[in-house]
Structure 1
């Protein structure tokens, strides 16, 4: 009899625990939208030469910041006419940013169509999150967002929904899926959402970091 009572008590505790867990999950799900399909992003800029020629000088290494109008480097261009002397042209920064990748080599030939370096403004980073199409109706511009960054698990930052995508990720794919077999399986589509950051909290954020977001409904 005693053993039977213990079993019943254990079953009751399991049911209560499951009910409490279910209630907690429902409360969270009813107030927030969560996704791990999100990462830090920045507007990347390709820096090219003003004209075809030789890269004779480059003044910034990866991680260096610069201001709009700074001279990033020099290119020596040779005019088409053989008797005309070479001309030195400056590579001028069109806007402020930070060099995040440098592909150049001194004295190599460069052209306007090839990127010598890539830059981004690390003070204007944001989060790009992909939400299921069944969730997007509950998201509004201005909704508060809590962000956890995988690289800094002990720190949480906040942000706000800045823009909702106007198409699903698959609609922008270079290789759109097509059904040629006659068999159809519905796949939940994902819509990109741009989230602005309220404060970096002194964290060294770079494009590409994985994050988890919780968006208030």
Structure 2
């Protein structure tokens, strides 16, 4: 009898636990559109010289910030000859930013248009969440969003839907998929959704970090 009571008690706990878990799962999928296919991103900008020459001045390194209009470097496009002064050209910052990658070295020869650095405004980062097409009808600009970022477990970030992409990710592929066999397999497409962050919660966010996105329906 005692064993029977224990067995029934265990069964009751399992059933109740399953019911609670099922209710929670249903509540989550009915209230949120969730995806792990999300990343922190920023507007990346490649900056280089407009003319070929020698990089005679360059005092910036990765992590340095700059303001729009700052002189990032100077390129000597024609060296001095006799009484003719050297011709130089400034490399001007087009926007505020932080250098996230650079391969520039002072006194190197540079080509016109070749990138000397990659920058992003780390104060204007956002999240791109790739949402399945079957869920897209519930996504609207202004919808509230809760995010977690893998690099900062336990921290909840808030945001809102800013823009919904006008094409699926596959439509922008450089190599379109082909179907030479004549058979067809339907694949659920994903559409990029841009999410503006309310704030950074005091964390140092950088482009490329993985995120989990939950958009309120």
Instruction: Give the structure-2-normalised TM-score.
Output: 0.93
Q: What residue in structure 2 maps to residue 76 of structure 1? A: 76
Alignment of 1:152-191 (within 5 A): 152-191=152-191
Q: What residue in structure 2 maps to residue 123 of structure 1? A: 123
Verify the 8 A CA contact 1:55 1:74 in the aligned structure 2: yes
Long gaps (5+) in structure 1: none
Alignment size in residue pairs = 216
Verify the 8 A CA contact 1:50 1:90 in the aligned structure 2: no
Verify the 8 A CA contact 2:72 2:91 in the aligned structure 1: yes
1:111 CA displacement: 2.3
Long gaps (5+) in structure 2: none
Deviations 1:130-171 (A, max 9, x none): 111111111110001111111111221111000001111001
1:50 CA displacement: 2.4
**1:15/1:82 CA distance change after superposition, 3 Å:** farther
Residue 43 of structure 2: SS of its match in structure 1? Answer: coil
Alignment of 1:1-217 (within 5 A): 1-78=1-78, 85-217=85-217
Partners of 2:209 and 2:143 lie apart in 1 by 22
1:106 CA displacement: 1.7
1:182 CA displacement: 1.8
Partners of 2:124 and 2:150 lie apart in 1 by 20
Verify the 8 A CA contact 2:50 2:113 in the aligned structure 1: no
User: Which deviates more, 11-20 or 130-139?
Assistant: 11-20
